Amino acid sequence: METQVRPSPVSATVDFDSDGIQHGFLRLPYSRDDAAWGSVMIPVTVVKNGEGPTALLTGANHGDEYEGPIALFELARSVRPEDVRGRVIIVPAMNQPAFAAGTRTSPIDKGNMNRAFPGRPDGTVTEKIADYFQRVLLPMADVVLDFHSGGKTLDFLPFCAAHILPDKQQEARAFELVRAFGAPYSVKMLEIDAVGMYDTAAEEMGKVFVTTELGGGGTASARTAQIAIDGCRNLLIAAGILKGKPEVRSTQWLDMPDGDCFTFAEDHGLVRFCADLGDKVQKEQIIAFIYPIGRTGLKPVELRARRSGLFTARHFLGLVKPGDCVAVIADEIIG
Ligand SMILES: [Zn+2]
């Protein structure tokens, strides 16, 4: 007997096959105390002009990362159908409940969107959104750009990235778009926790998947917001979907070849960094001290770099816990 696959409970108020520009919602029924027949309303814009490839652009996969939503609300407001060939689907706040609350995960179910794939049509709110992307939006896409930043607990050198993949053609197309994005840094990325990621879902479908880490600390700077706006446009032009001239910028390529790139805390305490993002560090160099905060007179714990390279990402908040990623060091490579 064939198993019946339950349809997605999400319905779109836009028609993805119509030419022109439409601003609407992905509406997910969500019954709760203040609205028995309420819904989660995820803003979406679709711009289509004839035949051509489809780009799917997402921000706020994590709700406290702001460069993506800034670039995508701006693009949705300003893009003209006559400048598009094919289709652009824009979802500035993929995990809308998390974005509205200013938190990484959803306040409804504590769902981390980037660990929820492939999702479930009969699961939690976060799983239902993931399932809609998995079964409806991703299959429409040729190119997928998913914006991330450090959120409230991490800070990154601004970079665009793709993954090393078994399919070398798919990998090469992704790195072409990373170069076109033109962030100050471009990264060949290693994931420390790839199961359930949107990235993995898109890549396993054969899509060209590009992501970013553009800053952090639960805010966006003028510089990182502009990098996101320009990079998004550059990528769409390089993909042949948007007309116009790209802002060509040089980029420094970085590689994260193995787990030695990451330094984790083993103690609670107050972190004092001894290097800043963008500094070159040597293997065994002290990159941070962790001071115990319960009493005075104790020696701080030394955290040493496990490899030489460029200080690429760091813990953002002043206090750390055992298991927190304190520092990421990447190799500078010739692109
Ligand atoms: Zn993120």
CA of 99 to the centre of ligand 1 (A): 11
Contact 211, 158 (CB under 8 A): no
CA of 110 to the centre of ligand 1 (A): 15
At 77, is the secondary structure helix, strand, or coil?
helix
Q: What is the pLDDT of residues 252-301, one digit of tens each?
A: 999 988 889 999 999 999 999 999 999 999 999 999 999 999 999 999 99
CA of 51 to the centre of ligand 1 (A): 32
CA of 217 to the centre of ligand 1 (A): 12
The DSSP bridge pattern shows strands 159-163 and 185-189 to be parallel
CA of 176 to the centre of ligand 1 (A): 22
pLDDT at residue 335, as a whole number = 62
Mean residue pLDDT of the chain comes to 96
pLDDT at residue 1, as a whole number = 53
Confidence of residue 331 (pLDDT cuts 50, 70, 90): very high
CA of 15 to the centre of ligand 1 (A): 29
pLDDT at residue 193, as a whole number = 76
CA of 150 to the centre of ligand 1 (A): 6
CA of 326 to the centre of ligand 1 (A): 16
Q: What is the pLDDT of residues 162-186, one digit of tens each?
A: 999 999 999 999 999 999 999 999 9
CA of 65 to the centre of ligand 1 (A): 6
CA of 160 to the centre of ligand 1 (A): 13
> Residue 21, CB half-sphere, CA atoms under 13 Å: how many?
13
* Percent of the chain with pLDDT strictly greater than 90: 93
CA of 210 to the centre of ligand 1 (A): 13
CA of 118 to the centre of ligand 1 (A): 17
CA of 101 to the centre of ligand 1 (A): 15
* Percent of the chain with pLDDT strictly greater than 70: 99
pLDDT at residue 248, as a whole number = 87
Mean pLDDT in residue range 111-115 = 97
**Positions of E strands within 191-308:** 208-213, 252-255, 262-264, 269-273, 280-281, 286-291, 301-304
pLDDT at residue 3, as a whole number = 67
Residue 107 is given by DSSP the state T
CA of 325 to the centre of ligand 1 (A): 14
Q: What is the pLDDT of residues 39-63, one digit of tens each?
A: 999 999 999 999 999 999 999 999 9
pLDDT at residue 5, as a whole number = 85
**118: preceding bond cis by omega (within 30 degrees):** yes
Rounded CA gap, 4 and 263, in Å?
46
pLDDT at residue 20, as a whole number = 98
Q: What is the pLDDT of residues 191-218, one digit of tens each?
A: 777 889 999 999 999 999 999 999 999 9
At 112, is the secondary structure helix, strand, or coil?
coil
pLDDT at residue 4, as a whole number = 75
Q: In what order do the strands lie in the sheet with 286-291?
A: 301-304, 286-291, 269-273, 319-320
Mean pLDDT in residue range 303-325 = 97
